[in-house]
Amino acid sequence: MSDLLINIELHNNSSYQQQIREKLVQLIKQGTFGDKPLPSGRKMAEIIGVSRNTIVLVYESLVDEGYLVARKRSGFFVHPDFPKESCPSLVHFDPPGSSREPNWCKRMKQKPSQFTSLNKDKNWFKYPYPFIYGYINVEEFPLYQWRECSRIAESRSKLHEWVEGYIDMDDPELITQIRQQILPKRGIVAQADEILITLGTQNSLFLLASLLGGENVTFGVENPGYGEFRNIISLTQSTVKPLDIDSQGVVLGEQLQHCDYVCVTPSHQYPTTVTMTIERRKALLEQAVRDNFVLIEDDYESEVNFIEQPLPALKSFEQHGRVIYTGSLSKSLTPGIRIGYLVANKTLITELRKLRHLHYRYPPSNNQRVTALFISQGYYDSHVRRIRRAYEKKWMLMQQGIESYLKGCEIHATAGSFCFWIGLPDGITSHALVELAAQHGILVESGDSLFMQENAPKNYIRLGFSAINHDKILQGLTILGGLIEQLRLRQSGCDNPQT
C-alpha cells in the first residue's frame, strides 16, 4: 500500500490531528487496510502533506482508543476487533430527496431487479440430500487435464496468442474445434464465419434478443420454460407469447402462427425434460417456412445425453436458414468459464459479432484458448464419456427411487436428462413440500417460477441429481416420499393421527 492516496482536504475549522484522525477512523471502520500495516508515520505524513509528528500523535491516539495496535518492528495495524471486510457505510450522504443527490429511481430506465430469477440456495452443499439442479459436482471436474491445457496456453511461446487480446475476432483454434469436434456430433455443418463465441447460452440469447427484438416483435417461448429468456425478451420491449408443450415437444399449429421467433429446447425441454420427436422437428421446420418464423434452438443438455444416442439437432435438418443454434460448455464442463457458441447465417453472425464488440468486445481470450486446447487434446470427449457413465448410474437410481417412493405423483422422466420433473398429487403445493423437505435436510426446487404467471400450476417440482452423492439418492427419495404422503394426509384431514 505504498501508493495509498488519501483524499483529505485540511481546513482550519478543527485541528489537523482531529481531521486526520476522523478520516483514518472512517477508513479503519470501512475495512480499507484489511490485515496490512498502515503506512509508516513518515510515509503517511508525505501522503497527507503534514508533519511526521502530527501523524505520530494521531497514530498514538488511535492506539489509545483501541483502533490500532502497534507491533514491534512491523508498524501499526488495525485492531483485530475491527472488520477486515465491509461494514455499513459511514460516508455522509444528503438526506434522501435532497436535490444534491441524483434521483436514481427516476434516472433508471429499466428496473432489472423486478425480474424474478431462479432463487438457488447457495448453501445447497449443507443439505444431506441436495436434489438441486444446475450445480456440477466439483469432484468430476477434469482438473488434471484442464491444468495441463492452461499450462500450455501460459507457455512463453503461446502467450502472444491471447495476451494481446482480439479486437472483434474469436480464437481461430476454438472455432476450428467447435466446427470439427463439437458440431458434427449434433449433425451440424458450419463455416467459421457462421459461428460466434459467446459467454454462454444466456449471453447468446441476450445478443439475439438485442439484435432482433423490439416493439411489435413476438417471441414464442415454451411454458413452462427458461424464465431468464422471458426476462431478456421483456427488456427489449418485445412480446412474449407462452407456448404449450406436450409429450413430443412444443405444440404446432395456431399458437405459432403469429410468432416472429419460436424458442425451443428440442434435446430436453427445459424443465419438463421431454425430447422433441423427429416427426415433430420436421413438421416444426415446415411450419416455420409456411408461417415465416425463425427458430431459436437452445441445444440444452445435448452433449451430456447419456443412455441414448441423442437425436440430431433441429439445425441439422434445415435448408432455409431458419434455425439459429445455441450451445454451451456450462453443463458439460463448468459454468465458471462462461463459454458458449451461436451458429447462424453469416449475415446474422457478422452483425452479432459487431454487437458483441459494443457490449463487451470478446469472451476472455485465455479461456477461449484453454478450451480450444482442452477439446483438441481429446480431453473434452473423454470427459463427456466419463460423466455420461457416472450419470447413467445415478439416473437409473433416481428413476427406480422415484417410481418406488413418490406415490401418486405425475412423473416426467427422459433418459439422459439431468433432472426429473414431478407433478405432486392434487392439493399439495410445491411450496409446502419445499419447506417441509428443507426441515428434513432435503433440497428440492419448486417449479413455480418456470411457468408464466397467469394461472400457473403450483404443484410441480424439479429433482436434479448432479450434485447429490450417489449413495444418498435412494435414502433421500424415501424420506421425500414420506413427506409427500404426510402432506397428502394433512390435505385430506387425516393429519396427526396420534392426537
Residue numbers 138-157 binding a copy of itself by CB under 8 A: 138, 141, 143, 146-147, 150-151, 154, 156
Number of residues this chain uses to bind a copy of itself (CB under 8 A): 125
Residue among 11 and 111 whose Cβ is closer to a copy of itself: 111
Measured CA to CA, the distance from residue 251 to residue 268 in angstroms comes to 15
Residue among 183 and 484 whose Cβ is closer to a copy of itself: 183
Does residue 93 bind a copy of itself (CB under 8 A)? Answer: yes
Residue tagged 448410474 (cell numbers): 393
Residue among 155 and 499 whose Cβ is closer to a copy of itself: 155
Measured CA to CA, the distance from residue 225 to residue 269 in angstroms comes to 8
Q: Which of 32, 36, 15 is nearest to 24 (CA)?
A: 32
Measured CA to CA, the distance from residue 49 to residue 173 in angstroms comes to 54
User: SS3 for 219?
Assistant: strand
Measured CA to CA, the distance from residue 54 to residue 249 in angstroms comes to 76
Does residue 191 bind a copy of itself (CB under 8 A)? Answer: yes
- What nine digits make up the cell of 389? 457413465
Residue type, 495: D
The conformational region for residue 236 under phi > 0 = left, psi -120 to 50 = alpha, else beta, is alpha
| Binding track, positions 214-243, relative to a copy of itself; x by CB under 8 A | x--x----------x--xx--x--------
Q: Which of 310, 365, 431, 377 is nearest to 172 (CA)?
A: 365
Pairing of strands 249-250, 261-264: unpaired
Residue among 82 and 474 whose Cβ is closer to a copy of itself: 82
The conformational region for residue 378 under phi > 0 = left, psi -120 to 50 = alpha, else beta, is left
Q: How far is the CB of 456 from a copy of itself (least distance, A)?
A: 21
Stretch that binds a copy of itself, among 249-257, 268-276, 341-349, 475-483 (CB under 8 A): 341-349
Among 14, 18, 51, 89, binds a copy of itself (CB under 8 A): 89
Does residue 494 bind a copy of itself (CB under 8 A)? Answer: no
Q: How far is the CB of 263 from a copy of itself (least distance, A)?
A: 15
Residue among 258 and 361 whose Cβ is closer to a copy of itself: 361
Residue tagged 396420534 (cell numbers): 498
Among 10, 17, 25, 32, binds a copy of itself (CB under 8 A): 32
- What nine digits make up the cell of 411? 412423473
Does residue 122 bind a copy of itself (CB under 8 A)? Answer: yes
- Which residues does residue 185 pair with via DSSP β-bridges, in sequence order? none
Q: What is the DSSP letter of 169?
A: -
- Enumerate residues 67-86 that contact a copy of itself by CB under 8 A: 85-86
Cis preceding linkage at 271, omega within 30? yes
Q: How far is the CB of 145 from a copy of itself (least distance, A)?
A: 11
Q: How far is the CB of 466 from a copy of itself (least distance, A)?
A: 11
Q: How far is the CB of 218 from a copy of itself (least distance, A)?
A: 12
Q: How far is the CB of 430 from a copy of itself (least distance, A)?
A: 20
Cβ burial, residue 251 (10 Å; 0-12/13-18/19+): middle
Taking every pair of Cα atoms in the chain, the longest distance, rounded to a whole number of angstroms, is 86
- Enumerate residues 171-190 that contact a copy of itself by CB under 8 A: 176, 179-181, 184-187, 189
Residue among 179 and 472 whose Cβ is closer to a copy of itself: 179
User: SS3 for 46?
Assistant: helix
Residue among 60 and 228 whose Cβ is closer to a copy of itself: 228
> Is there a contact between 488 and 409 (Cβ–Cβ < 8 Å)?
no
- Enumerate residues 290-319 that contact a copy of itself by CB under 8 A: 292, 294, 310, 312, 316-317, 319
Measured CA to CA, the distance from residue 463 to residue 445 in angstroms comes to 7
Q: How far is the CB of 325 from a copy of itself (least distance, A)?
A: 13
Residue among 354 and 407 whose Cβ is closer to a copy of itself: 354
Residue among 392 and 485 whose Cβ is closer to a copy of itself: 392
- Enumerate residues 349-388 that contact a copy of itself by CB under 8 A: 350-351, 354-355, 357-367, 381
- Enumerate residues 250-279 that contact a copy of itself by CB under 8 A: 260
Sign of CA dihedral 20, 22, 25, 29: negative
CB neighbours of 142 closer than 8 A, spacing ≥ 6?
333, 374, 379, 383, 386
Q: How far is the CB of 494 from a copy of itself (least distance, A)?
A: 40
Among 13, 80, 97, 104, binds a copy of itself (CB under 8 A): 104
